[in-house]
Amino acid sequence: MMADVKPLRRARPPKPVTPAALEPVAETRQRIADAERPKTVTRASPPSAPVATARPVAPPRQLNALGIDKSTLARLKRGDLAIDGRLDLHGMTQADAHETLDRFVDGGVGRGARLLLVITGKGAGGDGVLRAMLPRWLRAGPHATRILRIEPAHVKHGGSGAWYVYLRRRRDTPS
């Protein structure tokens, strides 16, 4: 019964790790690039004034979602903020929709609204023209400085066929 049984091959032990294998990849690439770079002869420049050593530059701080605090952004994405105005652009041409949108945002800014909902629809196959153009219009339009964030709406407000337009807080200037 055991006449045709062959023993299993034993696994080979792993090769020992050398210090060169532990070098970071970027350093290795830099070494290779330096070795392949043609050597050039440069003249020594005359001594100059000592250069003050600068402190190491810290990485720039990430602004939290362009001025929205974390909890407000989470509530916005969950659809838990109160909507101050709704606009439905279904069935409009681009020109009509753009003009209506400008008037709607202007009215929202005028009355001190914070969150506007603009319904564009998804379009045929999910790539509707109004849906694609709305963020461009808002970023390049007359109200671009008044808009803090443009975010796709939560499913309960239309999902990817609608947009939240979160406006900056209105700062009244004394007259």
CATH number for 99: 3.30.1370.110
The answer to whether residue 73 sits within a structural domain is no
- 164 burial level (CB within 10 Å; 0-12, 13-18, 19+): buried
The answer to whether residue 8 sits within a structural domain is no
The answer to whether residue 133 sits within a structural domain is yes
The answer to whether residue 156 sits within a structural domain is yes
Cβ atoms of 120 and 132 within 8 Å: the answer is no
The answer to whether residue 146 sits within a structural domain is yes
Looking at residue 60, its amino acid is P
d(CA 38, CA 127): 51
Share of the chain above pLDDT 70, in %: 66
Confidence of residue 61 (pLDDT cuts 50, 70, 90): very low
Predicted pLDDT at 103: 92
The answer to whether residue 151 sits within a structural domain is yes
How far lies 51's CA from each of 44, 47, 54, 58, in Å?
17, 11, 9, 20
The number of distinct structural domains making up the chain is 1
Predicted pLDDT at 63: 40
Higher pLDDT, 66 or 83: 83
Can you give the pTM of this predicted structure? 0.58
Confidence of residue 20 (pLDDT cuts 50, 70, 90): low
Range of the domain at 99: 83-167
The answer to whether residue 113 sits within a structural domain is yes
Predicted pLDDT at 50: 54
Q: Across residues 143-155, what is the average pLDDT?
A: 87
Confidence of residue 173 (pLDDT cuts 50, 70, 90): low
Lowest mean pLDDT among 50-59, 126-135, 137-146: 50-59
The answer to whether residue 33 sits within a structural domain is no
Helix (H, G, I), strand (E, B) or coil at 166: strand
